[in-house]
């Protein structure tokens, strides 16, 4: 069983679509105050949950009983951001997967791998492509 979907960036700037929120933007939101940081995270989680629910319905995905493999392909608008800055969005993504019911939990007990990550340059469509595969044999 496999679930695939793409989370596009919601950010627009003078030069067009900007990449997904990174660690710098997350820190900036939290420095404005605890409620501002929590509100920022909740807003992004809800946006991702909507995308996940549509994908689950279209692909007839049900929460796996076994562990899963998660593969992430980050689509960046340029090669200027640090790797750790790019992947900070993974926290929002995994929490949204749990809340949407796509996976039971985002702990090691339910995710069989540290997500395989790849970064590609895509100036027109930054975001992250997510593939979740149920593990057949518990590895």
The more confident residue out of 20 and 2 is 2
Q: Decide if pLDDT at 116 tops 80.
A: no
Q: Decide if pLDDT at 1 tops 80.
A: yes
The pLDDT tens digits for 47-83 are: 999 999 999 999 999 999 889 999 999 999 888 888 8
The CATH number of residue 69's host domain is 3.30.1330
Please, are residues 112 and 139 in contact by the beta-carbon 8 Å criterion?
A: yes
Q: Count of domains in the chain? A: 1
Asked if residue 61 belongs to a domain, the reply is yes
Asked if residue 76 belongs to a domain, the reply is yes
The pLDDT tens digits for 118-131 are: 999 998 899 999 99
If one counts every other C-beta atom within 10 angstroms of the C-beta of residue 65, the result is 7
Give the DSSP letter of residue 111: B
H-helix or E-strand containing 90? helix 90-100
Residues comprising the chain, all counted: 139
Q: Average pLDDT, stretch 75-96? A: 91
Rounded-to-integer distance, Cα 69 and Cα 18, Å = 28
């Amino acid at each position: 069983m496999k679930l695939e979907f793409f989370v596009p960036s919601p950010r627009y700037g003078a030069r067009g679509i900007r990449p997904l929120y990174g660690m710098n933007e997350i820190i900036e939101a939290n420095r404005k105050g605890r409620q501002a940081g929590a509100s920022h995270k909740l807003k992004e989680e809800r946006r991702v949950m909507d995308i996940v629910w549509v994908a689950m319905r279209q692909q007839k995905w049900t929460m796996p009983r076994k562990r899963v493999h998660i593969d992430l392909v980050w689509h960046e608008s340029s090669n200027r951001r640090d790797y750790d800055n790019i992947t900070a969005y993974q926290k929002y993504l995994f929490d949204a997967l749990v809340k949407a019911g796509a996976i039971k939990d985002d702990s090691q007990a339910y995710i069989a791998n540290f997500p395989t990550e790849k970064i590609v340059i895509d100036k027109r469509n930054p975001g992250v492509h997510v593939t979740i595969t149920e593990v057949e044999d518990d590895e």
